[in-house]
Structure 1
Protein backbone atom coordinates (compact mmCIF):
# COMPACT_ATOMS: atom_id res chain seq x y z
CA UNK A 1 0.00 0.00 0.00
CA UNK A 2 2.71 2.58 0.67
CA UNK A 3 4.67 4.47 -1.89
CA UNK A 4 2.12 6.18 -4.13
CA UNK A 5 2.04 9.54 -2.44
CA UNK A 6 4.98 10.75 -4.50
CA UNK A 7 2.59 11.30 -7.41
CA UNK A 8 1.15 14.28 -5.60
CA UNK A 9 4.50 15.99 -6.08
CA UNK A 10 5.19 14.71 -9.59
CA UNK A 11 2.15 16.23 -11.33
CA UNK A 12 1.70 20.00 -11.57
CA UNK A 13 -1.34 21.35 -9.73
CA UNK A 14 -3.16 22.81 -12.72
CA UNK A 15 -6.73 24.06 -12.48
CA UNK A 16 -9.32 21.30 -12.21
CA UNK A 17 -12.03 21.37 -14.86
CA UNK A 18 -15.46 22.54 -13.60
CA UNK A 19 -17.09 19.45 -15.13
CA UNK A 20 -14.90 17.22 -12.97
CA UNK A 21 -15.70 19.21 -9.85
CA UNK A 22 -19.39 19.07 -10.73
CA UNK A 23 -19.27 15.29 -11.08
CA UNK A 24 -17.64 14.94 -7.67
CA UNK A 25 -20.28 17.25 -6.17
CA UNK A 26 -23.09 15.12 -7.63
CA UNK A 27 -21.52 11.96 -6.23
CA UNK A 28 -21.13 13.68 -2.85
CA UNK A 29 -24.83 14.58 -2.80
CA UNK A 30 -25.79 11.06 -3.86
CA UNK A 31 -23.69 9.61 -1.03
CA UNK A 32 -25.27 11.93 1.55
CA UNK A 33 -28.73 10.99 0.26
CA UNK A 34 -28.00 7.27 0.61
CA UNK A 35 -26.69 7.76 4.14
CA UNK A 36 -29.85 9.69 5.04
CA UNK A 37 -31.95 6.84 3.69
CA UNK A 38 -29.93 4.38 5.78
CA UNK A 39 -30.40 6.53 8.89
CA UNK A 40 -34.14 6.69 8.27
CA UNK A 41 -34.34 2.90 8.04
CA UNK A 42 -32.25 2.50 11.20
CA UNK A 43 -34.43 5.01 13.02
CA UNK A 44 -37.55 3.03 12.24
CA UNK A 45 -35.99 -0.28 13.25
CA UNK A 46 -33.67 0.59 16.14
CA UNK A 47 -34.60 4.08 17.35
CA UNK A 48 -33.73 7.68 16.51
CA UNK A 49 -30.77 8.03 18.91
CA UNK A 50 -28.91 5.06 17.44
CA UNK A 51 -29.64 6.24 13.91
CA UNK A 52 -28.38 9.74 14.68
CA UNK A 53 -25.08 8.47 16.11
CA UNK A 54 -24.61 6.27 13.07
CA UNK A 55 -25.41 9.10 10.68
CA UNK A 56 -23.06 11.66 12.24
CA UNK A 57 -20.04 9.34 12.11
CA UNK A 58 -20.89 8.14 8.61
CA UNK A 59 -21.23 11.69 7.29
CA UNK A 60 -17.92 12.70 8.87
CA UNK A 61 -16.15 9.75 7.24
CA UNK A 62 -17.84 10.39 3.89
CA UNK A 63 -16.55 13.96 4.08
CA UNK A 64 -13.04 12.56 4.66
CA UNK A 65 -13.37 10.29 1.60
CA UNK A 66 -14.52 13.21 -0.56
CA UNK A 67 -11.62 15.32 0.70
CA UNK A 68 -9.18 12.57 -0.20
CA UNK A 69 -10.58 12.61 -3.74
CA UNK A 70 -10.90 16.39 -4.06
CA UNK A 71 -7.27 17.10 -3.17
CA UNK A 72 -6.15 14.60 -5.83
CA UNK A 73 -8.39 15.71 -8.71
CA UNK A 74 -5.36 17.22 -10.47
CA UNK A 75 -4.06 13.63 -10.72
CA UNK A 76 -6.97 12.60 -12.96
CA UNK A 77 -4.54 11.96 -15.79
CA UNK A 78 -2.77 9.09 -17.48
CA UNK A 79 0.91 8.20 -17.37
CA UNK A 80 1.98 8.67 -20.99
CA UNK A 81 5.43 8.34 -22.50
CA UNK A 82 5.86 12.10 -22.09
CA UNK A 83 5.60 12.54 -18.30
CA UNK A 84 5.61 16.34 -18.57
CA UNK A 85 2.49 16.34 -20.74
CA UNK A 86 0.07 13.77 -19.25
CA UNK A 87 -3.30 13.19 -20.82
CA UNK A 88 -6.02 14.63 -18.60
CA UNK A 89 -9.56 13.28 -18.34
CA UNK A 90 -12.71 15.37 -17.98
CA UNK A 91 -14.62 12.66 -16.07
CA UNK A 92 -13.77 10.41 -13.15
CA UNK A 93 -14.44 7.20 -15.05
CA UNK A 94 -16.15 4.05 -13.83
CA UNK A 95 -13.08 2.83 -11.95
CA UNK A 96 -12.86 5.92 -9.77
CA UNK A 97 -16.62 5.91 -9.26
CA UNK A 98 -16.41 2.36 -7.92
CA UNK A 99 -13.54 3.43 -5.66
CA UNK A 100 -15.68 6.26 -4.27
CA UNK A 101 -18.53 3.80 -3.76
CA UNK A 102 -16.11 1.73 -1.69
CA UNK A 103 -15.45 4.85 0.35
CA UNK A 104 -19.18 5.28 0.92
CA UNK A 105 -19.47 1.67 2.12
CA UNK A 106 -16.57 2.20 4.52
CA UNK A 107 -18.18 5.42 5.77
CA UNK A 108 -21.43 3.56 6.46
CA UNK A 109 -19.39 0.89 8.24
CA UNK A 110 -17.75 3.54 10.43
CA UNK A 111 -21.14 4.60 11.74
CA UNK A 112 -21.35 1.33 13.67
CA UNK A 113 -18.32 2.28 15.78
CA UNK A 114 -20.73 4.17 18.08
CA UNK A 115 -23.36 1.43 18.02
CA UNK A 116 -22.89 -1.01 20.91
CA UNK A 117 -23.79 -4.59 19.96
CA UNK A 118 -25.72 -5.01 23.22
CA UNK A 119 -28.00 -2.12 22.28
CA UNK A 120 -29.05 -3.53 18.91
CA UNK A 121 -30.90 -6.47 17.44
CA UNK A 122 -28.71 -9.49 16.60
CA UNK A 123 -29.47 -9.16 12.89
CA UNK A 124 -27.86 -5.72 12.80
CA UNK A 125 -24.44 -7.28 13.44
CA UNK A 126 -24.60 -8.72 9.93
CA UNK A 127 -24.80 -5.28 8.33
CA UNK A 128 -21.16 -4.21 9.07
CA UNK A 129 -19.96 -7.59 7.77
CA UNK A 130 -21.98 -7.13 4.59
CA UNK A 131 -20.73 -3.55 4.11
CA UNK A 132 -17.04 -4.37 4.42
CA UNK A 133 -17.32 -7.56 2.39
CA UNK A 134 -18.92 -5.53 -0.40
CA UNK A 135 -16.15 -2.91 -0.11
CA UNK A 136 -13.47 -5.61 -0.31
CA UNK A 137 -15.09 -7.18 -3.37
CA UNK A 138 -15.42 -3.78 -5.03
CA UNK A 139 -11.67 -3.38 -4.55
CA UNK A 140 -11.27 -6.21 -7.06
CA UNK A 141 -13.39 -4.36 -9.63
CA UNK A 142 -12.27 -0.74 -9.71
CA UNK A 143 -8.86 -1.36 -11.25
CA UNK A 144 -10.24 -3.89 -13.74
CA UNK A 145 -12.98 -1.48 -14.76
CA UNK A 146 -10.49 1.36 -15.24
CA UNK A 147 -8.32 -0.81 -17.47
CA UNK A 148 -11.33 -2.08 -19.42
CA UNK A 149 -12.49 1.50 -19.99
CA UNK A 150 -8.89 2.55 -20.78
CA UNK A 151 -9.25 5.18 -18.08
CA UNK A 152 -6.43 4.30 -15.68
CA UNK A 153 -5.33 7.41 -13.78
CA UNK A 154 -2.92 8.48 -11.08
CA UNK A 155 -5.98 9.66 -9.16
CA UNK A 156 -7.31 6.11 -9.15
CA UNK A 157 -4.03 4.65 -7.90
CA UNK A 158 -3.72 7.24 -5.13
CA UNK A 159 -7.37 7.09 -4.05
CA UNK A 160 -7.43 3.29 -4.08
CA UNK A 161 -4.43 3.16 -1.74
CA UNK A 162 -5.87 5.82 0.58
CA UNK A 163 -9.21 4.01 0.88
CA UNK A 164 -7.54 0.63 1.38
CA UNK A 165 -5.76 2.15 4.38
CA UNK A 166 -8.93 3.87 5.59
CA UNK A 167 -10.89 0.63 5.40
CA UNK A 168 -8.14 -1.22 7.29
CA UNK A 169 -8.43 1.42 10.00
CA UNK A 170 -12.23 1.40 10.41
CA UNK A 171 -13.01 -2.30 9.93
CA UNK A 172 -10.39 -3.66 12.39
CA UNK A 173 -11.52 -1.14 15.02
CA UNK A 174 -15.01 -2.57 14.70
CA UNK A 175 -13.76 -6.17 14.70
CA UNK A 176 -11.74 -5.48 17.87
CA UNK A 177 -14.81 -3.91 19.51
CA UNK A 178 -16.75 -7.06 18.64
CA UNK A 179 -13.99 -9.25 20.13
CA UNK A 180 -13.15 -10.80 16.76
CA UNK A 181 -9.55 -9.51 16.49
CA UNK A 182 -6.82 -8.94 19.05
CA UNK A 183 -6.03 -5.32 19.90
CA UNK A 184 -2.51 -5.81 18.54
CA UNK A 185 -4.03 -5.87 15.06
CA UNK A 186 -4.24 -2.09 15.31
CA UNK A 187 -0.58 -2.13 14.22
CA UNK A 188 -1.91 -2.96 10.75
CA UNK A 189 -4.37 -0.07 10.96
CA UNK A 190 -1.74 2.55 11.80
CA UNK A 191 1.18 1.20 9.75
CA UNK A 192 0.25 3.04 6.54
CA UNK A 193 -0.27 6.36 8.34
CA UNK A 194 3.02 6.03 10.23
CA UNK A 195 4.74 5.28 6.92
CA UNK A 196 3.27 8.40 5.30
CA UNK A 197 4.14 10.53 8.34
CA UNK A 198 7.70 9.27 8.06
CA UNK A 199 7.86 10.38 4.42
CA UNK A 200 6.50 13.82 5.33
CA UNK A 201 9.03 14.11 8.15
CA UNK A 202 11.91 13.30 5.78
CA UNK A 203 10.74 15.87 3.23
CA UNK A 204 10.40 18.59 5.84
CA UNK A 205 13.93 17.90 7.02
CA UNK A 206 15.27 17.97 3.44
CA UNK A 207 16.10 14.27 3.53
CA UNK A 208 15.86 12.23 0.32
CA UNK A 209 12.82 10.04 -0.29
CA UNK A 210 13.55 7.25 -2.74
CA UNK A 211 10.88 5.59 -4.93
CA UNK A 212 9.61 2.15 -4.11
CA UNK A 213 10.19 -0.61 -6.66
CA UNK A 214 7.04 -2.24 -8.09
CA UNK A 215 5.79 -5.16 -6.03
CA UNK A 216 2.78 -7.42 -6.53
CA UNK A 217 3.41 -8.84 -3.06
CA UNK A 218 2.57 -5.47 -1.51
CA UNK A 219 -0.89 -5.49 -3.06
CA UNK A 220 -1.40 -9.17 -2.26
CA UNK A 221 -0.63 -8.69 1.45
CA UNK A 222 -3.13 -5.82 1.67
CA UNK A 223 -5.76 -8.00 -0.01
CA UNK A 224 -5.16 -10.78 2.51
CA UNK A 225 -5.77 -8.34 5.37
CA UNK A 226 -9.02 -7.11 3.82
CA UNK A 227 -10.23 -10.67 3.34
CA UNK A 228 -9.34 -11.58 6.93
CA UNK A 229 -11.15 -8.59 8.43
CA UNK A 230 -14.19 -9.13 6.21
CA UNK A 231 -14.45 -12.75 7.39
CA UNK A 232 -13.85 -11.76 11.02
CA UNK A 233 -16.81 -9.36 11.01
CA UNK A 234 -19.33 -12.08 10.18
CA UNK A 235 -21.02 -13.13 13.46
CA UNK A 236 -20.99 -16.93 12.87
CA UNK A 237 -17.18 -17.04 12.50
CA UNK A 238 -15.62 -18.01 15.87
CA UNK A 239 -13.51 -15.29 17.48
CA UNK A 240 -10.86 -17.82 18.48
CA UNK A 241 -10.12 -18.50 14.83
CA UNK A 242 -10.00 -14.89 13.67
CA UNK A 243 -7.90 -13.56 16.55
CA UNK A 244 -5.25 -16.22 15.97
CA UNK A 245 -5.23 -15.70 12.21
CA UNK A 246 -5.02 -11.95 12.71
CA UNK A 247 -1.84 -12.20 14.78
CA UNK A 248 -0.23 -14.58 12.26
CA UNK A 249 -1.25 -12.77 9.06
CA UNK A 250 -0.39 -9.26 10.20
CA UNK A 251 3.31 -10.13 10.61
CA UNK A 252 4.14 -10.38 6.86
CA UNK A 253 2.44 -7.03 6.22
CA UNK A 254 4.34 -5.28 9.02
CA UNK A 255 7.61 -6.79 7.80
CA UNK A 256 6.74 -5.50 4.34
CA UNK A 257 6.28 -1.98 5.69
CA UNK A 258 9.70 -2.17 7.36
CA UNK A 259 11.27 -3.36 4.08
CA UNK A 260 9.57 -0.53 2.16
CA UNK A 261 10.84 2.01 4.68
CA UNK A 262 14.37 0.78 4.05
CA UNK A 263 13.76 1.52 0.37
CA UNK A 264 12.31 5.03 0.70
CA UNK A 265 14.92 6.08 3.25
CA UNK A 266 17.79 4.70 1.15
CA UNK A 267 18.98 2.33 3.88
CA UNK A 268 18.59 -0.73 1.69
CA UNK A 269 20.98 0.65 -0.93
CA UNK A 270 23.42 1.66 1.81
CA UNK A 271 23.31 -1.86 3.22
CA UNK A 272 23.95 -3.34 -0.25
CA UNK A 273 26.93 -1.02 -0.86
CA UNK A 274 28.47 -1.83 2.52
CA UNK A 275 28.00 -5.56 1.96
CA UNK A 276 29.59 -5.37 -1.47
Structure 2
Protein backbone atom coordinates (compact mmCIF):
# COMPACT_ATOMS: atom_id res chain seq x y z
CA UNK A 1 0.00 0.00 0.00
CA UNK A 2 1.49 3.33 -1.04
CA UNK A 3 1.92 6.25 1.30
CA UNK A 4 -0.63 8.23 -0.70
CA UNK A 5 -3.20 5.46 -0.30
CA UNK A 6 -2.58 5.29 3.45
CA UNK A 7 -3.01 9.05 3.69
CA UNK A 8 -6.24 8.96 1.70
CA UNK A 9 -7.65 6.21 3.89
CA UNK A 10 -6.78 8.19 6.97
CA UNK A 11 -8.53 11.25 5.56
CA UNK A 12 -11.60 9.14 4.74
CA UNK A 13 -11.64 7.63 8.21
CA UNK A 14 -11.20 11.08 9.74
CA UNK A 15 -14.17 12.37 7.73
CA UNK A 16 -16.38 9.51 8.94
CA UNK A 17 -15.22 10.00 12.53
CA UNK A 18 -15.73 13.75 12.29
CA UNK A 19 -19.24 13.20 10.95
CA UNK A 20 -20.01 10.87 13.86
CA UNK A 21 -18.75 13.47 16.33
CA UNK A 22 -20.79 16.19 14.61
CA UNK A 23 -23.85 13.93 14.72
CA UNK A 24 -23.37 13.44 18.45
CA UNK A 25 -23.13 17.21 18.82
CA UNK A 26 -26.40 17.67 16.92
CA UNK A 27 -28.09 15.07 19.12
CA UNK A 28 -26.89 16.61 22.40
CA UNK A 29 -27.42 20.21 21.32
CA UNK A 30 -30.85 19.47 19.86
CA UNK A 31 -31.96 17.55 22.95
CA UNK A 32 -30.91 20.48 25.14
CA UNK A 33 -32.73 22.97 22.91
CA UNK A 34 -35.98 20.99 22.82
CA UNK A 35 -35.83 20.18 26.54
CA UNK A 36 -35.30 23.84 27.47
CA UNK A 37 -38.04 25.03 25.12
CA UNK A 38 -40.58 22.31 25.93
CA UNK A 39 -40.20 19.24 28.16
CA UNK A 40 -37.71 16.44 28.63
CA UNK A 41 -40.27 13.93 27.41
CA UNK A 42 -40.58 15.85 24.14
CA UNK A 43 -36.80 16.09 23.91
CA UNK A 44 -36.47 12.33 24.41
CA UNK A 45 -38.91 11.69 21.57
CA UNK A 46 -37.03 14.13 19.35
CA UNK A 47 -33.70 12.46 20.17
CA UNK A 48 -35.05 8.99 19.36
CA UNK A 49 -36.09 9.88 15.80
CA UNK A 50 -33.20 12.23 15.14
CA UNK A 51 -30.71 9.73 16.56
CA UNK A 52 -31.92 7.02 14.20
CA UNK A 53 -31.71 9.41 11.25
CA UNK A 54 -28.22 10.54 12.28
CA UNK A 55 -27.13 6.90 12.38
CA UNK A 56 -28.35 6.57 8.80
CA UNK A 57 -26.35 9.64 7.72
CA UNK A 58 -23.13 8.41 9.34
CA UNK A 59 -23.71 4.83 8.21
CA UNK A 60 -24.36 5.86 4.61
CA UNK A 61 -21.12 7.81 4.50
CA UNK A 62 -19.13 4.99 6.12
CA UNK A 63 -20.58 2.40 3.73
CA UNK A 64 -19.92 4.44 0.58
CA UNK A 65 -16.65 6.11 1.50
CA UNK A 66 -14.75 3.56 -0.61
CA UNK A 67 -16.96 4.21 -3.65
CA UNK A 68 -14.40 6.87 -4.52
CA UNK A 69 -10.97 7.84 -3.31
CA UNK A 70 -11.46 7.73 0.48
CA UNK A 71 -10.06 11.24 0.75
CA UNK A 72 -13.03 12.49 -1.27
CA UNK A 73 -15.12 12.29 1.90
CA UNK A 74 -13.06 15.14 3.30
CA UNK A 75 -13.47 17.35 0.21
CA UNK A 76 -15.21 20.65 1.09
CA UNK A 77 -18.22 20.11 -1.23
CA UNK A 78 -18.88 16.70 0.33
CA UNK A 79 -18.55 18.11 3.83
CA UNK A 80 -21.24 20.64 2.90
CA UNK A 81 -23.46 17.81 1.64
CA UNK A 82 -22.88 15.84 4.85
CA UNK A 83 -23.93 18.92 6.84
CA UNK A 84 -27.18 18.89 4.87
CA UNK A 85 -27.79 15.33 6.03
CA UNK A 86 -27.24 16.34 9.65
CA UNK A 87 -29.66 19.25 9.31
CA UNK A 88 -32.35 17.05 7.77
CA UNK A 89 -31.87 14.58 10.62
CA UNK A 90 -32.41 17.40 13.12
CA UNK A 91 -35.63 18.35 11.32
CA UNK A 92 -36.81 14.71 11.37
CA UNK A 93 -37.06 14.67 15.15
CA UNK A 94 -39.90 17.19 15.11
CA UNK A 95 -42.08 14.52 13.52
CA UNK A 96 -42.81 13.36 17.08
CA UNK A 97 -42.84 16.83 18.66
CA UNK A 98 -45.81 18.48 16.91
CA UNK A 99 -46.63 21.96 18.22
CA UNK A 100 -50.08 20.95 19.45
CA UNK A 101 -48.53 18.42 21.85
CA UNK A 102 -46.38 20.91 23.74
CA UNK A 103 -47.82 23.86 25.62
CA UNK A 104 -45.90 27.12 25.70
CA UNK A 105 -44.35 28.57 28.84
CA UNK A 106 -47.48 30.54 29.68
CA UNK A 107 -49.82 27.61 29.18
CA UNK A 108 -51.42 28.97 26.02
CA UNK A 109 -51.58 25.53 24.38
CA UNK A 110 -49.19 26.62 21.63
CA UNK A 111 -45.57 25.58 21.42
CA UNK A 112 -42.84 28.17 21.98
CA UNK A 113 -41.89 30.22 18.88
CA UNK A 114 -38.41 28.68 18.77
CA UNK A 115 -39.88 25.20 18.37
CA UNK A 116 -42.43 26.30 15.80
CA UNK A 117 -39.64 27.71 13.61
CA UNK A 118 -37.06 24.96 14.18
CA UNK A 119 -38.09 22.47 11.44
CA UNK A 120 -38.29 25.19 8.79
CA UNK A 121 -34.91 26.59 9.81
CA UNK A 122 -33.22 23.18 9.79
CA UNK A 123 -34.71 22.13 6.49
CA UNK A 124 -34.30 25.57 4.93
CA UNK A 125 -30.63 25.68 5.90
CA UNK A 126 -30.16 22.27 4.29
CA UNK A 127 -31.86 23.48 1.12
CA UNK A 128 -29.57 26.52 1.01
CA UNK A 129 -26.53 24.25 1.32
CA UNK A 130 -27.95 22.08 -1.48
CA UNK A 131 -27.45 24.97 -3.87
CA UNK A 132 -24.00 25.66 -2.43
CA UNK A 133 -22.42 22.18 -2.50
CA UNK A 134 -22.88 21.55 -6.22
CA UNK A 135 -21.65 25.01 -7.13
CA UNK A 136 -18.65 24.59 -4.85
CA UNK A 137 -17.85 21.20 -6.38
CA UNK A 138 -17.89 22.62 -9.89
CA UNK A 139 -15.94 25.71 -8.94
CA UNK A 140 -13.20 23.70 -7.21
CA UNK A 141 -13.39 20.90 -9.82
CA UNK A 142 -14.06 18.36 -7.07
CA UNK A 143 -17.17 16.67 -8.43
CA UNK A 144 -16.85 13.05 -7.26
CA UNK A 145 -18.86 9.80 -7.41
CA UNK A 146 -19.13 9.87 -3.61
CA UNK A 147 -20.49 13.40 -3.74
CA UNK A 148 -23.15 12.32 -6.23
CA UNK A 149 -24.21 9.42 -3.98
CA UNK A 150 -24.38 11.67 -0.92
CA UNK A 151 -26.29 14.35 -2.80
CA UNK A 152 -28.94 11.94 -4.08
CA UNK A 153 -29.28 10.15 -0.73
CA UNK A 154 -29.72 13.32 1.30
CA UNK A 155 -32.01 14.92 -1.27
CA UNK A 156 -34.25 11.87 -0.87
CA UNK A 157 -33.93 12.04 2.92
CA UNK A 158 -34.98 15.68 2.95
CA UNK A 159 -37.94 15.03 0.66
CA UNK A 160 -39.02 12.28 3.03
CA UNK A 161 -38.65 13.78 6.50
CA UNK A 162 -39.71 17.37 5.81
CA UNK A 163 -43.11 16.52 4.28
CA UNK A 164 -43.70 13.99 7.07
CA UNK A 165 -43.09 16.72 9.63
CA UNK A 166 -45.32 19.05 7.64
CA UNK A 167 -48.18 16.54 7.70
CA UNK A 168 -47.68 15.74 11.39
CA UNK A 169 -47.80 19.44 12.20
CA UNK A 170 -50.87 20.00 10.04
CA UNK A 171 -48.91 22.27 7.73
CA UNK A 172 -49.21 20.01 4.66
CA UNK A 173 -52.02 17.73 3.44
CA UNK A 174 -51.32 14.01 3.58
CA UNK A 175 -51.68 13.88 -0.21
CA UNK A 176 -48.40 15.78 -0.47
CA UNK A 177 -46.62 12.65 0.78
CA UNK A 178 -47.17 11.26 -2.70
CA UNK A 179 -44.09 13.28 -3.68
CA UNK A 180 -41.99 11.46 -1.09
CA UNK A 181 -43.41 8.11 -2.16
CA UNK A 182 -42.82 8.83 -5.85
CA UNK A 183 -39.04 8.59 -5.49
CA UNK A 184 -39.25 5.18 -3.87
CA UNK A 185 -41.89 3.91 -6.30
CA UNK A 186 -39.70 5.01 -9.22
CA UNK A 187 -36.64 3.24 -7.82
CA UNK A 188 -38.62 0.13 -6.92
CA UNK A 189 -40.09 0.00 -10.41
CA UNK A 190 -36.75 0.26 -12.18
CA UNK A 191 -35.16 -2.27 -9.78
CA UNK A 192 -38.01 -4.72 -10.42
CA UNK A 193 -37.48 -4.44 -14.17
CA UNK A 194 -33.74 -5.06 -13.85
CA UNK A 195 -34.31 -8.16 -11.73
CA UNK A 196 -36.63 -9.50 -14.40
CA UNK A 197 -34.04 -8.81 -17.09
CA UNK A 198 -36.04 -6.05 -18.71
CA UNK A 199 -34.23 -3.01 -20.13
CA UNK A 200 -33.96 0.20 -18.17
CA UNK A 201 -32.65 3.14 -20.15
CA UNK A 202 -30.75 6.21 -19.02
CA UNK A 203 -32.69 9.02 -17.43
CA UNK A 204 -33.29 11.61 -20.16
CA UNK A 205 -32.09 15.17 -19.82
CA UNK A 206 -34.73 17.56 -18.56
CA UNK A 207 -34.83 21.32 -18.29
CA UNK A 208 -37.61 21.24 -15.71
CA UNK A 209 -36.50 18.48 -13.31
CA UNK A 210 -34.06 20.56 -11.27
CA UNK A 211 -36.22 23.74 -11.22
CA UNK A 212 -39.20 21.70 -10.04
CA UNK A 213 -37.10 20.15 -7.27
CA UNK A 214 -36.01 23.63 -6.23
CA UNK A 215 -39.63 24.77 -6.26
CA UNK A 216 -40.65 21.89 -4.00
CA UNK A 217 -37.78 22.58 -1.59
CA UNK A 218 -38.72 26.26 -1.35
CA UNK A 219 -42.41 25.45 -0.94
CA UNK A 220 -41.78 22.90 1.81
CA UNK A 221 -39.59 25.39 3.67
CA UNK A 222 -42.28 28.07 3.55
CA UNK A 223 -45.00 25.56 4.45
CA UNK A 224 -43.11 24.54 7.59
CA UNK A 225 -42.95 28.12 8.85
CA UNK A 226 -45.84 29.56 10.86
CA UNK A 227 -46.12 32.48 8.41
CA UNK A 228 -49.10 31.28 6.36
CA UNK A 229 -52.29 29.63 7.64
CA UNK A 230 -52.80 25.97 6.80
CA UNK A 231 -55.97 26.94 4.94
CA UNK A 232 -53.74 28.65 2.37
CA UNK A 233 -50.90 26.12 2.35
CA UNK A 234 -53.01 22.97 1.85
CA UNK A 235 -54.67 23.88 -1.46
CA UNK A 236 -51.41 25.39 -2.72
CA UNK A 237 -49.61 22.13 -1.92
CA UNK A 238 -52.03 20.12 -4.04
CA UNK A 239 -51.37 22.41 -6.99
CA UNK A 240 -47.59 22.60 -6.57
CA UNK A 241 -47.08 18.84 -6.26
CA UNK A 242 -48.74 17.94 -9.59
CA UNK A 243 -45.92 18.98 -11.98
CA UNK A 244 -43.31 17.03 -9.99
CA UNK A 245 -45.46 13.90 -9.92
CA UNK A 246 -46.01 14.24 -13.66
CA UNK A 247 -42.23 14.44 -14.13
CA UNK A 248 -41.72 11.18 -12.22
CA UNK A 249 -44.30 9.47 -14.44
CA UNK A 250 -42.67 10.86 -17.56
CA UNK A 251 -39.20 9.75 -16.42
CA UNK A 252 -40.41 6.22 -15.68
CA UNK A 253 -42.11 5.94 -19.05
CA UNK A 254 -38.93 7.21 -20.71
CA UNK A 255 -36.47 4.83 -19.01
CA UNK A 256 -38.77 1.87 -19.66
CA UNK A 257 -38.95 2.66 -23.36
CA UNK A 258 -42.61 3.60 -23.38
CA UNK A 259 -41.90 7.22 -24.19
CA UNK A 260 -39.19 8.88 -26.23
CA UNK A 261 -36.84 10.85 -23.95
- The bucket for the TM-score relative to the shorter chain is 0.7 to 0.9
Which consecutive residues of structure 2, in runs of 5 or more, have no partner in the other structure? 1-7, 103-110
Which consecutive residues of structure 1, in runs of 5 or more, have no partner in the other structure? 1-15, 77-87
CA distance in 1, matches of 2:197, 2:9: 33
After superposition, give the CA deviation of every residue in 1:35-92 in whole Å (9 maximum; x if it has no partner). Answer: 212212322332221111111110101111223333332333xxxxxxxxxxx46232
CA distance in 1, matches of 2:165, 2:79: 25
Would you say the 8 A contact 2:19–2:58 is kept in 1? no
Which structure has more relative contact order (CA 8 Å, sep 6+)? It is 1
Instruction: Tell me how many residue pairs correspond in the alignment.
Output: 244
SS in 1 for 2:259: helix
- Partner residue of 1:187 out of 158, 178, 187: 178
The equivalent of 1:236 in structure 2 is: 227
TM-score by length of 2: 0.87
CA distance in 1, matches of 2:134, 2:149: 12
Go from structure 1 to structure 2 and tell me whether the alpha carbon gap of 1:216 and 1:31 turns closer, same or farther (over 3 Å shift): farther
- Listed as ranges, the matches of 1:166-181 within 5 Å are 166-181=157-172
Would you say the 8 A contact 2:99–2:169 is kept in 1? yes
SS in 2 for 1:71: helix
After superposition, give the CA deviation of every residue in 1:80-126 in whole Å (9 maximum; x if it has no partner). Answer: xxxxxxxx462321111111111111101110111131233331111
Residue 200 (str. 1) matches residue 191 (str. 2):
yes
CA distance in 2, matches of 1:22, 1:90: 9
Cα deviation for residue 165 of structure 1 reads 1.6
Residue 34 (str. 1) matches residue 26 (str. 2):
yes
The equivalent of 2:106 in structure 1 is: none
- Partner residue of 1:117 out of 74, 99, 118: 99
- Listed as ranges, the matches of 1:66-145 within 5 Å are 66-76=58-68, 88=69, 90-92=71-73, 93-120=75-102, 121-123=111-113, 124-145=115-136
The equivalent of 1:150 in structure 2 is: 141
Which portions of structure 1, spanning 4 or more consecutive aligned residues, are displaced by more than 4 angstroms?
Answer: none
SS in 2 for 1:150: coil
CA distance in 2, matches of 1:72, 1:89: 9
The equivalent of 1:45 in structure 2 is: 37
Cα deviation for residue 259 of structure 1 reads 0.8
Cα deviation for residue 18 of structure 1 reads 4.3
CA distance in 2, matches of 1:135, 1:262: 31
Residue 220 (str. 1) matches residue 211 (str. 2):
yes
Cα deviation for residue 205 of structure 1 reads 1.3
Would you say the 8 A contact 1:185–1:250 is kept in 2? yes
CA distance in 2, matches of 1:68, 1:215: 28
The equivalent of 1:13 in structure 2 is: none
TM-score by length of 1: 0.83
After superposition, give the CA deviation of every residue in 1:111-165 in whole Å (9 maximum; x if it has no partner). Answer: 0111131233331111111111111111110101111221111222222122112
